[in-house]
Structure 1
Amino acid sequence: MILDLLFPNRCIHCNRIIEPDFLVCNLCFNQIHFTHYDYFESNPIKEKCNLLFPVENTYALIRFEEESLSRKIIHELKYRSREITGKILAEWTTERLDFKNQRPDLMVSVPLHPRKLRERGYNQLHLFTETLSKFYSIPCDHQLIKRNHYSKAQALKDKQHRLETVNPFSITQPITGKHILLIDDVFTTGNTISSIAWEIINVGDNKVSILVIAVDV
């Protein structure tokens, strides 16, 4: 209580004092550009993924735009040691995403390399995925996908270097005949998602759908 008085939680956009478990104030919340994608219908992510690998369904929560609030939200999640941001974003997702009667069998998040995990202290997608898993009653597995190489963040690579990455991921255990929901933070070129999707598809008779927090296409 004393710490809350001395260091109150503030909106990441306008710096107003807000409730402890909030990310932005009500006024700034209206500035977030939600995608309003339909998980089952065509959207920019599905169109891009279809060029890279067979995909079932796709969804993104917000649009990732330069100098925008959505960019601040993603940076808060990934780089400012505020893991709770993942839970907040998951709650926003559950208010907008309905799997209807076609729920995936398993949720899997894009892994960090162990070295990167030690440096950051947490995987920014774990709490997000776990919150969704609990809400939708769909199991999640943080160990199914292994990142084989330590590398710089995708945002720091040029496009050509991203395309040159070979076999960056592998499957750690047999899995067959499952519909996997693959979860990532930001969808840009689709190369990371594609690398993992092909590993999942090739290891057995599996299907892949995609859920990302933000889309930048």
Structure 2
Amino acid sequence: MIQWKKWFTGPGSCCLCDAPHRASSWSAVWERVCPSCRCRLHRIDSPCCPRCGRAGIGSLCEDCLTGPGGELERNVAVLQYTAYPRELIHLYKYRGREHLARPLAEMMAERVFSAGIRAEAVTCVPLHPQRLKERGFNQSERLAQEAARHLGLPFIPTLKKVRSTPPQSKSSRWERMAMLEEAFQSSDWKRIAGRVWLVIDDVYTTGATMVECARTLKRAGAQRIYSATLAR
């Protein structure tokens, strides 16, 4: 009896940093995060921009008021993009910690469900083939596959990036939108048309990537497009 209890309740480890943490593998994702990690993660709750998910704003933010983006109904994000989420994403994308996709995507699925978003299919922001070859995997695709599994939805990779774009970290929102124009194509109009889609990516910065993905899906006949990111 004692052995069975240990199997359910510990010893265990944090699902993010692997530090010892007494939490069952059956526990909800936030219960599997150790106190040290939890205090460094700032979850986005109300108030936030109802369109892009920016924290601390109870109405549309300035970017959403002044910029394009009508094709994207709404973005929701789990975490503010502070130092520790940035570190986790870096470990996941570049340091071989690909197993982080599971807990991070579970957080995203929980956020999507609690926000009342009811999509019919999940897709992801694609990488250009050259970038995919360099990195070895698409971090957004792994997150999308896991999130779709938790949401009980099909994952369908409907988007392709057909034009390589330079790094955008130092570009303004308008520069990013110009660079990304016509950079994506939809690969399967029959499966896209008439459906409500959820697009997954790791970080929402200016929204240019999500808006262009939504625009591409809309041209292919999608009914509505929502997006979810780990960080904002």
Question: Take 2:140 and 2:79, find their aligned partners in 1: how far apart are those partners?
Answer: 15
CA contact (8 A) 2:16 2:37 kept: no
Aligned to 1:129: 144
Report the alpha carbon displacement of residue 136 of structure 1 after superposing the two structures with TM.
1.3
- Counterpart of 2:221, as a letter, is G
Point out the structure with the larger helix share.
2
Question: Take 1:25 and 1:100, find their aligned partners in 2: how far apart are those partners?
Answer: 25
Report the alpha carbon displacement of residue 201 of structure 1 after superposing the two structures with TM.
0.8
Aligned to 1:31: 40
Report the alpha carbon displacement of residue 60 of structure 1 after superposing the two structures with TM.
0.2
SS of 2:231's equivalent in the other structure is strand
CA contact (8 A) 2:51 2:73 kept: no
Aligned to 2:163: 149
- Counterpart of 2:68, as a letter, is L
- TM-superposition CA deviations, 1:35-76 (whole Å, max 9, x none): 12589x8254384557422233331010112xx111111212
Name which of 171, 177, 181 aligns with 1:158.
Answer: 171
- Relative to structure 1, is the Cα distance of residues 86 and 11 closer, same or farther in structure 2, using a 3 angstrom cutoff? closer
The TM-score, its normalising length taken from structure 1, stands at 0.77
Alignment coverage as a number of residue pairs: 199
CA contact (8 A) 2:15 2:103 kept: no
Question: Take 1:33 and 1:59, find their aligned partners in 2: how far apart are those partners?
Answer: 14
Larger Rg: 2
Report the alpha carbon displacement of residue 88 of structure 1 after superposing the two structures with TM.
1.5
Aligned to 2:53: 45
- TM-superposition CA deviations, 1:167-216 (whole Å, max 9, x none): 1101111121111111111111111111111111122152111111110x
Aligned to 1:57: 74
Gaps of 5+ in 2: 1-12, 55-59
CA contact (8 A) 2:52 2:76 kept: no
- Relative to structure 1, is the Cα distance of residues 44 and 101 closer, same or farther in structure 2, using a 3 angstrom cutoff? closer
Aligned to 1:104: 119
RMSD: 3.1
The TM-score, its normalising length taken from structure 2, stands at 0.73
Question: Take 2:95 and 2:161, find their aligned partners in 1: how far apart are those partners?
Answer: 23
Gaps of 5+ in 1: 1-8
Question: Take 1:38 and 1:212, find their aligned partners in 2: how far apart are those partners?
Answer: 17
Question: Take 2:224 and 2:116, find their aligned partners in 1: how far apart are those partners?
Answer: 16
